[in-house]
Structure 1
């Protein structure tokens, strides 16, 4: 009789994702003595009925593999598939990228138990009812506190009254994991100081003033000392990333002015090969794409971005194919040691037109509208996640005609004399025509990008720090900033928790000196349980 009831039961498909989530909730309920919601109870009942039906069918030898997979929820039923197709593909909502969400920290679960009531007690509201466990109430609370918390560790000591030997109680493993014994500032504190300075752009003095306000006084000089120790500990990884960058398939390059207060002029070779006194301080930024990972590097010194890429490419193995380099059209950004496939930033070309919009509103409006079509095509390519070869074919079909249309339009204006060559619009047209090959490289070279916006966004870290701190005092201080900013930016791009990563690198500084390749942002978790 029971079997007939099972056979007539209408089952609901339970997907593997729903089943995994249910298992997790049941595990939490068991661990914390919680009750299940009515929805979870219904899912659990469906799972049990499905299991009973499977056992019965298997015992009767009256089931095919296809039916078994459908019954177990491994594949959807035809009705479910049909309904999903009718709904169509949902559009991805605008917002943060999924990889950035991977670095989010789960909230700490804090349980509050009744002190006056417990299961089985009489109901305080009525004379007849009994209390039983029900689905708990819950809310999320975000708390605020000082970024740094002082901890005074008091270790019990015993002393022998005969020999005078001391026996000190050991500290917990958690304390040792954040720093050596008697180390005042933990690894996590040093990492947070580094992120506040080189990602949030908070100068040392501002951090010290903020800590005075919050009741945990730390001087600006102490913050710099701790950041220097953090940089020394993690430097082997940054050095290895610089060597690994030499093998990249694609580079994005740019630079911005900076200032080192104590820096004097130095005798250094220019790009023309002549040695002369030079004073210009720049921070050069580089994104090197190796496989599916982006390595972000910064270098602050007297020199341009082209000299930085020369240093990287000098270490490049000779048997590798020519890489693609994305930059603006400045000759100082071009490498001189190794041949590369040049692609130029279309955002720079578009900006040339946009800057003269007030003087040539109709002409510039047409160019901006045409250029907008190209970025629309790029958005379409990204939305469809097309591989490099199909992306190239798509741009050749849709974007290259637009590029030629703008070029022909500009050349016609110059030929007819309707636009003076020395005017603002004439200079924008000449820039476009002169660098057309590099600007249209994304339509001719597989893997070439449309613009250099990603590198320019990374340089905002440097610009933010420069605006807030005004300058670096010494070249050594600039080098420290380059090491930490490079690692923090690489973490941010990879969706890795930079605070956790810098803390782990300091904790295992002895090991990473020997094998830095095992402690990169995308593989360091496999080397430790952190």
Structure 2
């Protein structure tokens, strides 16, 4: 940054004797000074914005939720006025006594819903306590007239179990031949891992974000000696079995009329000593509450077509995304409508609050009114034409007022070109048509928050396992998270689902593999899923 020009201030007598070329020189110096001041002002605004962003990342809240200041005329409970005179209340004299402290033995109430666990899923061990009053008494000297039950949550140092199969070897006397039953077949040929262990391994890593090295430590602490590479090979082999299900689910999403898509980075594959390659998951969310995490090596627009395909989309198809221009090029090429996310637009104004607090707050308040309309739609459970009519009547006028306000800000000429507020205003004005798509289509959400919530498992996983050693490993991570996240969307226990489909996928007809996706599996098999030999058999 060049230093501002320094020119001594002349007196009136000196200025009157200046030649024309001196006046021109002074004017040029003033222009240069003003130019330097404008450049310094822009740099100061940019640095202030960066400083506020870094400060929020280190010390502030990451949430973009606005905290509305309370009404100053509203009193708190402790501020209620206390009358000067209290009404006379007749007194009551009680005898002095010592009150016994309340005590509970957590006895089970008659209401079965008071239990804090599901008796059909949690093993219960019964411990019967002896009544000390019966000590020294015979059975004829007392009568059991009832019982009280209490429960406590306990934990063993691990839940691993060894299934010991004993197979008798017999010799038939009539034929003198020896026979022995074959060992039960596993889901992975020749493996000593039961399907319950494989499902637990995958669930712990991808659902509860326990890296394999931590699971290996826990196995060792419980007296089980296996190698870490064996756990990795076991995970890859199991997820390879599930790949056809992932493909079937992606086909179902591609057939959806309304899809939401985003991208999130992941480190996968070694680029050199101590360096990892950068890749991307491209999560895509379908209208049937299904999500798939397709892995690709970059953020190029060609990966959108690789994920969604290039076949003609369904009639009236809509792709809901953020402002990345590659989505617009794909939409134009395939002939579908592109809608854009209001939450991403709102984020631009949220980040501009530190520089332009007044006008950024105005924008946030107007966008907040659009979300208030959506909240009413959810509470009233409006669908179809009723939702569309309500949006056109309530949200469209607010959208028009918002964009009128945006245009007015540009006409005011009071914005710096590099100001974050200028960037936010330009962002929404360029994307107005895409931001208004949801008004006329009742099935299009106002934002991609449903997708953002579902893809949160990837950032959470990155904080635990950091990266994938290979691109193939990243692909398998996408397969696992696609099925587990979809299970969560349909209220399916991922462990129960994996135990079933890992046994079923090898014998299920390839033409009907779509039935094993979580959405259809819940309809066809959830009522009577396949279990491990560890699961107690019903008599």
- TM-score, normalising length: structure 1: 0.68
Give the structure 1 partner of residue 382 of structure 2.
386
From the superposition, tell whether residues 105 and 326 of structure 1 become closer, same or farther in structure 2 (CA, over 3 Å).
Answer: farther
Tell whether the 8 Å contact from 1:205 to 1:219 is kept in structure 2 after alignment.
no
Shift of 1:304: 3.1
Find the counterpart in structure 2 of residue 414 from structure 1: 410
User: Among residues 392, 399, 404, which one is paired with 1:403 in the alignment?
Assistant: 399
1: CA distance, partners of 2:222 / 2:301: 45
* Equivalent runs, 1:275-314 vs 2, <5 Å: 281-289=279-287, 293-304=288-299, 306-314=301-309
**TM-aligned CA deviation for residue 250 of structure 1:** 1.2
3-state DSSP of counterpart to 2:352:
coil
Matched position secondary structure for 1:299: strand
User: 2:310 touches 2:334 (CA, 8 Å); kept in 1?
Assistant: no
* C-alpha distance in structure 2 between counterparts of 1:162 and 1:180, whole Å: 37
SS of 2:229 mapped into structure 1: helix
Within the candidate set 231, 236, 239, 1:223 is matched to 231
1:94-122 CA-to-partner distances (Å, cap 9, x unmatched) read xxxxxxx99996434555568899xxx9x
Choose from 301, 325, 329 the match for 1:331: 325
Structure 2 counterparts to residues 311-460 of structure 1, below 5 A:
311-314=306-309, 316=311, 320-334=314-328, 335=330, 337-460=333-456
Partner of 2:76: none
1:143 to 155, 169, 181: 155
Which consecutive residues of structure 2, in runs of 5 or more, have no partner in the other structure?
1-107, 530-539
SS in 2 for 1:261: strand
Q: TM-score, normalised by structure 2?
A: 0.67
Residue 487 (structure 1) aligned to one of 477, 483, 487: 483
Whether contact under 8 Å (2:169, 2:179) holds in the other structure is yes
Inter-partner Cα distance in structure 2 for 1:220 and 1:375: 49
SS at match of 1:472: coil
Shift of 1:471: 2.2
Q: 1:231 to 1:104 in 2, by over 3 A?
A: farther
Q: How many equivalent pairs are there?
A: 409
Q: Residues 155 and 168 of structure 1 are in contact (CA less than 8 Å); yes or no, is this contact kept in structure 2?
A: yes
Separation in structure 1 between the aligned mates of residue 414 and residue 119 of structure 2, nearest angstrom: 57
Task: Point out the structure with max Rg over C-alpha.
Answer: 2
The CA distance in 1 between the partners of 2:189 and 2:469, in whole Å, is 32
| 3-state SS, counterpart of residue 300 of structure 1 | strand
Give the Cα separation in 2 of the matches to 1:484 and 1:246: 19
Note the residue ranges of structure 1 that are not aligned, 5 or more in a row: 1-35, 41-100, 265-278
Q: Distance in 2 between matches of 1:390 and 1:102?
A: 41
CA shift for structure 1 position 456: 1.8
Query: Is the contact between residue 237 and residue 512 of structure 1 (CA under 8 Å) also seen in structure 2?
Result: no
- Aligned residues of 1:250 and 1:323 also touching (Cα < 8 A): yes
Secondary structure of the residue aligned to 1:510 is coil
CA distance in 2, matches of 1:102, 1:502: 22
Give the 3 Å change call, closer, same or farther, for CA 487–102 of structure 1 in structure 2: farther
| 1:254 positional shift | 0.4
User: Taking structure 1 as reference, are residues 103 and 228 closer, same or farther at Cα in structure 2, changes over 3 Å only?
Assistant: farther
Give the secondary structure class of the aligned counterpart of 2:508. helix
Aligned partner of 1:74 in structure 2 is none
RMSD: 3.7
Determine the C-alpha separation between the residues in 2 that align with 1:340 and 1:142.
55
2:528 maps to 1:516: no
Secondary structure at 2:290 match in 1: strand
Q: Distance in 2 between matches of 1:432 and 1:288?
A: 25
Does the alignment pair 1:463 with 2:471? no
Q: 1:106 to 1:263 in 2, by over 3 A?
A: same
User: After the TM superposition, which residues 71-220 of structure 1 pair with which residues of structure 2 at under 5 Å, given as runs?
Assistant: 106-110=121-125, 130-132=143-145, 134=146, 137-159=149-171, 165-168=177-180, 176=184, 183-220=191-228
Q: 1:471 to 1:38 in 2, by over 3 A?
A: closer
Offset of residue 203 of structure 1: 2.4
Q: Give the superposition deviation at 1:487.
A: 0.9
Residue by residue over 1:397-456, the C-alpha shift from the partner in whole angstroms, topping out at 9 and shown as x without a partner, is: 222222222222221121021223431111111111111221222212231111111222
Contact 2:294 2:307 in 1 (8 A): no
